[in-house]
Amino acid sequence: MEPWAWSLVETLRRLAARDISAVELTSLYLERAQRLNPCLCAYITISDRALADAAEADRRRSQGGFVPPLAGVPIAIKDLFDTPYLDTTYGGIHVRHRPPREARAVRRLRRAGAVILGKTNLHEYAYGTTNDNPHFGACRNPWQKDRLSGGSSGGSAAAVAAGLCAGALGTDTGGSIRIPAALCGCVGFKPSYGRISTHGVFPLAPSLDHVGPLARSVADAAYLFAVLAGWDPNELHRLLLAHPTDLCLPRRKLVAGLPGGSLFAGGQAGVRHAFARALAQLEAAGWSFRPVDIPHASDIPVAQNIILASEARHVHRELLATAPERYGKDVRERLEAAQQFTGADYVWAKEVQAATIRALAAVWAQVDVLILPTVPVAAPARGQTQTELNGETVWVRSALTRWTNPWNLTGLPAVSLPAGWTEEGLPFGLQVVAGPRQDRLVLQAAAYAESVFGRMPVEPVTPDPQAKP
């Protein structure tokens, strides 16, 4: 197996054993990124200081003594995080912008010894699910380049899935980590709200924004989470929880809830069949399942949309008022449409949010976790704006967020992991959700499921000979 296909955990083992140096490993990743990025458009910026950082990791390892937990591991960062030493575009018009501060999550990675390879592509200002960026190009799905990578963390997911980094950092406001993870065939973890700092991350909707890792395995995601998580005094809502230093992932038999009702019904045929196969495999491994009703399910998409749109318009109010032409068409139209929502609408949506969180206590009394497909459709074609779902024509962005945004509204931890393939030969993502602050449980359950399905291989990717750097 090539070094760029190793898991993060295996990479750390090989670095510790001196099977490969951090400089050698980083050079391999940089060469691969330079060669394949023209056809994938996963990176916006590739770092010119990665090799120097790798050399520092090798120096520290050669001297003995304390070695940081991620020393020499090449990591990619979604270009929504502030980095004073790398251009920070937010996926928008902030070309050659270098903010004075460093995002707290990135600082944690660097203090842990990670080598930052570069900044990854995203849907403009993180406000979308296609990753068709009007400023930097559309990020392509590594498995079928005519398909969407998903968004808004599509560049991070594509980079992980194609072996252009050992792990990546993303954000998730309505599914923006889990959707691209599902479409590209990697693991995406949205922790509980507030577990990882959003300080220094350009906001989309602050009361719904989450930061989390994308990785090749659940163990990799758990390792990154252990580095990233912790209380931050700058957070708007503080979760005073112990730092997760021991994320052991034992196998265990779980009772998994299957969400019912119209919101969670249906899905395209390929997704339904893949989900049925996954359930059969888990049942054979000892899992048991129980249908559950999700309270206020019919109100969840409306409430989520009102909160997200209202907060996003507030974030962008100044630039939208003075220079609307600087936005791409789809993001500008969504921001402008948000003016239809009133203060009363926002209060109603927050009431739905609070009532749903309270009522879910009855669900967690019945089951350990919830399990469902991450998205109800296979990766749509690039440029596709509508799709068929349950006999209706719906917007692609609405279809992709249908089964992810309930867990942003409620702030619950959720993992998307690869669980086979759809009939179109595209990755199928399975979503595992746990109760309030049960981040360790959701990772344990996902790790057990991964042991049943096996890890997704890294897509080797064939460069497009017509693509230009």
Residues catalogued as catalytic? 78, 152, 176
Query: What is the spatial distance between Cα 458 and Cα 407, in angstroms, rounded to a whole number?
Result: 28
The helix/strand/coil state of 92 is coil
Task: Give the strand pairing for 132-133 and 187-190.
Answer: unpaired
How far, in Å, CA of 371 to CA of 368, rounded? Answer: 10
Q: Which helix (H) or strand (E) is 427 found in, with range?
A: strand 427-434
Strand (E) or helix (H) holding 373: strand 369-373
C-alpha span between 227 and 229 (Å, rounded): 6
Give Cα 316 to chain centroid, integer Å. 23
Burial class (CB in 10 A: 0-12, 13-18, 19+), 280: exposed
CA distances in angstroms from 145 to 39, 123, 139, 457, listed in the order given: 8, 17, 9, 17
DSSP one-letter string for 22-65: HHHHHHHHHHHHHHHHHHH--EEEE-SSHHHHHHHHHHHHHH-S
Residues 138/384, Cβ–Cβ less than 8 Å: no
* φ/ψ of residue 359, rounded to 5: -70, -25
- Measuring CA to CA, which residue among 309, 307, 252, 276 is closest to residue 434? 252
Q: How far is CA 217 from the centre of its chain?
A: 13
